[in-house]
Structure 1
Amino acid sequence: MVETVREHKDNAAQLFASGQWEAALAEYRYIARAVPEDLASRQKVAELLQRLGRKQEAIETYTDVAKAWARQGWLLRAIALCKVILQLEPGHGPTQRLLADFYAGHAQPQPRLTPAPAVSPSFGESSGEGDEVLPRIPLFSKLSPEAFLSVVEELELKPFAPGSTIVTEGETSHSLFAIVEGRVDVVVRGGGGQSRKVACLGEGDFFGEVALLSDAPRLASVVATTRTVVFELTREQVERLAELHPSVEQMLRSFYQVRLLANILRGNPLLFSLTPLQREAMTKAVQFHAVPAGERLLVQGQPGDALYLLLRGQCRVVHRRPDGHENEHPSLREGDMFGELSVLLGLPATASVIADTPCTLLRLARADVERLIVMNTGLREALFRLSSERLQRTAQLVSGYESSAA
């Protein structure tokens, strides 16, 4: 039986690729009858019916498959098929009601410090009365039903072939993406120009939310490793939606802050000791800060008003001697923190910090540092150690200058 189905699948794929749609439809219908749980083949039946102009049959099949995807936990796939139906027949009432049911059925999550999986791996939750409950989608969880339907209406489906670049590191764009099907690699350029994979994302994952809230360049490239279909939501669409539903922008900002802070906490040992409540408060307090190359973030001799964490790029640290000559400290790189001397000790900056490249940073104002960090003993001690090391290094530079002058 397995071999027979495999043969039919191979034959169906070949017929589809060669444009023999009637014959391909017959093959996929055979597979759908033999293996009803093969939703991909059932979806192919709907697509072929659409290509053959049999609109009502296509809509009925798309609807059945959308419901089946939702029951298995793949809500984004279900929403994607509803979008296809609405393209075939705008304003299709049963599909709009189905989308409303999808929203009503997915449980509202409580605030989290790290996002839940965008789509549950299985669809087995049930309420006390045995009713099915759709999986949670954190990105949509705080929207009203009306706002949810408005967002869905704006989402655009885009397919990408294997090897296609969806976003490119360093470029500026203003779109968020949700993976409906397929897989992608997240790739960054190293110091020597070599690329390295830092993550792999699959169905239900989101990426690119930073672009909706800032003009910062992309921090990484995202490349499709298989045929991949994504939903795209642009900043222009969000602005249009926010005029009608302010909760849309608030939801995106909250989602972005939680994800960004979660990534920072995973990779920064200094911040690891924050308590859960402090981490949650920090997500609301940090500000995203993008600066061009050459901009001064700290000026020697002047007080600083914030603690900075370098997310992307490189900064020069320059100490100006009394004779006007400059000495450079080791450069600050991704993950480094600076500005703690002013916010913790009330001292003016002992050196200037200048963006050597376009930089992306997180900024935490002095008042928020005092409120969130100073009360944390472990982090306070770690920052004081960092401050002491930098003061000692500056003192050594000054001492060396005085000795040579003598």
Structure 2
Amino acid sequence: MRIPFFEPKIEHLDLYLARRAYDKALGAIGRELRRRPDDLPLRRRKADLLRQTGETESAVEALQDLAQRYVSVGFHARAIALYKEILELDPERAQIHRELAALIGTESPREEPRLEAREEDPEARARELAASSLFTLFDTDALEEVLTSTSLRVFQEGDIIVTEGEEGLSLFLIVDGSVKIFTRGQKGEHLPLAALGAGALFGEVSVVYGKPRTATVTASSPVTAIEISKEEIDRIARAHPNVRTVLKRFCEERAANAISVLTGARSGD
């Protein structure tokens, strides 16, 4: 008697994982990705599952493919974070930052990133694309140096990331999670200024202009962020003077855009 074969289905994914039926889980993910190849969150789950099951080489390939897809839609910060994960899994990949620098330098982002339902907030998507555009402003050699100098930081909810009044020693680009920004009032009370999510850049003004931190930033959820230290930026700028010029121009454009948005909001009242 022939036993019927049933292909794993994506709707049973959580059940497969609960039963540790990882082959079926990977089969279900693969089948769904053939139907929806641009589902990047699902590709992330595939990479995580491969890593969890000890299939390091396949996990690296999945992470690399996912990073390239993020670059293709202009989300360079996420690609950088993924390449840092690849380096953790395979420290022998000495040329990985040069590879990513070349990829960012040559890839033309699509006009409409197709990142599935998880990326449905157009404002958040626009903010992330704007912050990620920083990396396209460097030439390949300078970008490789910048990428090599970055570190991936993880903060838990409630952690203080930067403190108002302190020296600005690094800048941060949020890959995942959200933060709250506060300043001190006249009586020492905390006054909320803003909330930022994935794609937001903060701390750059203190680093570029040498000013103390103008606000305190705390994690309002688990946060993954790319950090670049002032010391590393200064070191890179000695060999690539245009790095500091690029950062200053980027800060000025962001400030001008912020003023434009604020002016537009007030005129619409």
Q: What TM-score does the superposition give when structure 2 sets the normalisation length? A: 0.71
SS at match of 1:171: coil
Q: How does 1:184-203 map to 2 (within 5 A)?
A: 184-203=179-198
Choose from 153, 158, 163 the match for 2:158. 163
Residue 65 of structure 1 aligns to a residue whose secondary structure is: helix
In structure 2, the residue matched to 1:252 is 247
Matches of 1:172 and 1:11, distance apart in 2:
50
Higher helix share: 2
Q: Which residue of 2 aligns with 1:83?
A: 84
Residues 26 and 42 (structure 1), Cα distance of their counterparts in 2 relative to 1, 3 Å cut: farther
State whether residues 171 and 201 of structure 2, in contact with CA within 8 Å, keep that contact through their aligned partners in structure 1.
Answer: yes
- Aligned partner of 1:204 in structure 2 is 199
If asked which structure has higher relative contact order (CA below 8 Å, sep 6+), I would say 2
The Cα of 1:145 is off from its aligned counterpart by: 1.3
Deviation at 1:185, TM superposition (A): 2.0
The answer to whether the Cα contact below 8 Å between 2:182 and 2:194 also exists between their aligned partners in 1 is: yes
Indicate whether 1:122 and 2:102 are aligned: no
Larger radius of gyration: 1
Matches within 5 A, 1:103-142: 103-106=105-108, 122-123=112-113, 137-142=132-137
Aligned to 1:233: 228
1-structure distance, mates of 2:67, 2:190: 38
| Aligned partners of 1:185 and 1:199 also within 8 Å | yes
What's 1:150 paired with?
Answer: 145
Query: What is the one-letter code of the residue matched to 1:23?
Result: R
1:27-106 aligned within 5 A:
29=26, 32-33=29-30, 35-36=32-33, 37-87=38-88, 88-91=90-93, 96-106=98-108
User: How far apart are 1:52 and its partner, in Å?
Assistant: 4.5
- Offset of 1:260 from its aligned partner? 4.2
Structure 1 pair 246/181, CA: closer, same or farther in 2 (3 Å)?
same
Pairwise CA distance, 1:242? 1.2
Distance (whole Å) between structure 1 residues aligned to residue 221 and residue 60 of structure 2:
27
For 1:228 and 1:9, the matched residues in 2 are separated by 25
Structure with the higher fraction of residues in strand conformation: 1
CA contact (8 A) 1:28 1:44 kept: no
| Alpha-carbon shift at residue 30 of structure 1 (Å) | 5.3
In 1, Cα distance between equivalents of 2:21 and 2:44 = 13
Query: Matched residues in 1 for 2:183 and 2:215: separation?
Result: 5
Indicate how the Cα distance of structure 1 residues 65 and 266 shifts in structure 2: closer, same or farther if over 3 A, else same: closer
1:132 is matched with which residue?
A: none
State how many pairs are aligned: 236
Q: TM-score, normalised by structure 1?
A: 0.50
Residue 247 of structure 1: how far off its partner (Å): 1.1
**Does the alignment pair 1:176 with 2:165?**
no
Q: Offset of 1:176 from its aligned partner?
A: 0.5
User: How far did residue 208 of structure 1 move?
Assistant: 0.3
Structure 1: how far apart are the matches of 2:77 and 2:12?
Answer: 30
> 1:192/1:265 Cα in 2 relative to 1: closer, same or farther (>3 Å)?
farther
Equivalent in the alignment of 2:126? none
CA offset at residue 161 of structure 1? Answer: 2.1
8 Å Cα contact 2:16-2:25 kept in structure 1: no
Q: After superposition, what is the alpha-carbon deviation per residue over 1:197-234, rounded to whole angstroms, capped at 9, x for unaligned?
A: 32222222211012213443211122222322110000
User: What is the aligned-residue identity percentage?
Assistant: 30
SS in 2 for 1:163: coil
Q: Given that residues 67 and 79 in structure 2 are in contact (C-alpha distance below 8 angstroms), is that contact kept between their aligned partners in structure 1?
A: yes
Secondary structure of 1:191's counterpart equals coil
The whole-number CA distance in structure 2 between the counterparts of 1:141 and 1:198 is 29
The AA in structure 2 aligned to 1:79 is: I
Structure 1 residues 106 and 197: alpha-carbon distance in aligned structure 2, compared to 1, 3 A threshold: farther
Could you tell me which residue of structure 1 aligns to residue 5 of structure 2? Answer: none
Gaps of 5+ in 2: 1-8, 115-128
Quickly say closer, same or farther: Cα 1:256–1:244, change in 2 above 3 A: same
When the two chains are superposed, the root-mean-square deviation of aligned CA atoms in Å is 3.4
Which amino acid is the alignment partner of residue 70 of structure 2? W
One-letter amino acid matched to 1:80 = A
> Are residues 250 and 73 of structure 1, via their aligned partners in 2, closer, same or farther at CA, if it must alter by over 3 Å?
closer
